[in-house]
Structure 1
């Protein structure tokens, strides 16, 4: 796995797609040796006063993958930026049984379990174990965010901080605080669950990379933004934290959702595009291919609209993905999976015929 690689996959079985990412990224080969100190940091955050965190399934899958590859020094790091009571946080996030059953030590920030480092005029209190780790895994549950437009890999790093650092993320220094933290501590491997809160019934989308900044640039593009529309992505790029040029990314789809060229023109005739993201467009082609196999494609009553250019429009047709959320009828997701789009369109066709 190279620094510009982004491995992505999706599916209903969270264990399977997590394991798929780990094995295809060859994570075990990146870790220096079997005795290396490995730190896994889950993502824990509040959205609208509700606590959300990395799925216990993802956490368990990673730990078991590492143990099966004979790594013996695996640790969990829980910062207390969210909650001072780490024991209760383990229970709330449903990690308590995992660490007990798999015998995983947990490190947090109690009393003096931190080291203070200052950079850019900002003082950070960091978990000692994270600073001294041989290999650091950053787990992320991405989501849109009112303050910073998005919450993803760079911002998720705040979970290695002491509660006394809370004020950093409620001031005008917010963007600097995120960037300089990632300058101090770099993740060796980042695994992102995309929009895990948007639709619990939908297929789960995940990707992995070894560059936190590239992870954020990629997610920004999926949301319909240019990476430098996000202020802290631009600042992080100036600090050379990683790569923010999504054009340099090598995006590897572990599930092949491409459609043969012979059939593309037929499917594309039903689509009205305006700057769509590649993955969103490919997913739509796959959904239309499924409709075609069911002899339903020609029964679509209207064209389908997809792409960032439709974000401010409210057309009468059917929109595909978050960028068409102002449409009366649209498929939720960013991007929506082929199966979800297929089922939506199939139901729409049936309802239209019965009207």
Structure 2
């Protein structure tokens, strides 16, 4: 399989779909049976895949079946959930504990892993060791929206391969630049995009859109550019795509891509536009270097207010992000970094219910 190829298969049986696709592209030709093969899903939160936030265990099962049937036995699954959530709980809730037991495949929580420094351009990146130690890394992101970067797919999914402290630092760096650099530090052998039912409004799920497709490729820049086009975005809209391309990670030239589709009769709509809901909800939010988990909790609290038509009644500015540490501000602070605001919600990250309670107390009625 060449780097300019994108393979898309449509259907509803994702275990069967991915097995057929791996046979079609003859993945085994890129492998040998002695390789240590790492599988990196997206288990950002402890929610089942049907909610649109996490990688379907059925896709991973199909991958494991293919590998084991072709003699590859040294396989592991690795992930680090976002700051504030437990990877081990995600393994259990998302069905990966059962999967690991069924196929005798170990699970590694990257929050427990040690890290090393990788110099990429002008940045030092702290990267978990285990993803660097495998011989072949299979990245299996979910195609879904993100409240800060608009979209998350192949490139951003690697953020689960860095320590929590580094995840926080990524946000102080503006998020897009270090995401674009990260794929230079962590080599990938194959990307399998779970496009079955991603949430096109929130990163942590709850509003899944049935897309019924799996997308395969080797170039994360090309795959993210293609995925962005499905959502109605250009590569310029998703800043880290151009940054990664500039670092030599891959090409965004879709005109030169060889896109092959399978079972097209099962194809749904070819474009799944994200909503402008997050922008609507966060009109009164002032964010600077906000972590995704904290920002996500805030968005969900604001959604609850909007559900009862009270969002318009918020009468004070809302501050969120690491850049507000130590600043005394008139308004509502979200999370530990904004505890000097006149009112603040404690936690790192705070939960949506606690945020909602404080917001409710600050409505003009």
Distance 2:237 2:198 in 1: 23
Task: Give the length in aligned residue pairs.
Answer: 266
Cα drift, residue 149 of structure 1: 1.5
Residue in structure 1 matched with residue 26 of structure 2 by the alignment? 26
Cα drift, residue 88 of structure 1: 2.3
**Structural RMSD (CA):** 2.9
Residue in structure 2 matched with residue 215 of structure 1 by the alignment? 223
Contact residue 115 and residue 125 of structure 1 kept, 8 A: yes
Residue in structure 1 matched with residue 259 of structure 2 by the alignment? 251
Residue in structure 1 matched with residue 37 of structure 2 by the alignment? 38
Q: 1:232 aligns with which of 198, 219, 240?
A: 240
Residue in structure 2 matched with residue 206 of structure 1 by the alignment? 214
Structure 1 range deviating more: 225-234 or 193-202: 193-202
Structure 1 stretches of 5 or more lacking a match? Answer: 259-278, 285-319, 327-355
Structure 1 range deviating more: 244-253 or 79-88: 79-88
Contact residue 12 and residue 202 of structure 1 kept, 8 A: no
- 5 Å-filtered alignment, 1:237-316, equals 237-257=245-265
Residue deviations 1:91-116, cap 9 Å, x none? 12220111112111222335553323
Distance 2:219 2:244 in 1: 12
Cα drift, residue 66 of structure 1: 0.4
Residue deviations 1:87-142, cap 9 Å, x none? 32311222011111211122233555332324345443323221121111000111
Cα drift, residue 200 of structure 1: 5.8
TM-score by length of 1: 0.68
Contact residue 78 and residue 86 of structure 1 kept, 8 A: yes
Contact residue 52 and residue 209 of structure 2 kept, 8 A: no
Distance 2:198 2:113 in 1: 34
TM-score by length of 2: 0.66
Structure 2 stretches of 5 or more lacking a match? Answer: 200-206, 277-365
Cα drift, residue 158 of structure 1: 0.7
Residue deviations 1:177-226, cap 9 Å, x none? 10111111121100002262357684511110011111101011112222
Structure 1 residues 82 and 103, CA gap change in structure 2 (3 angstroms): farther
- Which protein has the larger Cα radius of gyration, Structure 1 or Structure 2? 1
Structure 1 range deviating more: 16-25 or 154-163: 16-25
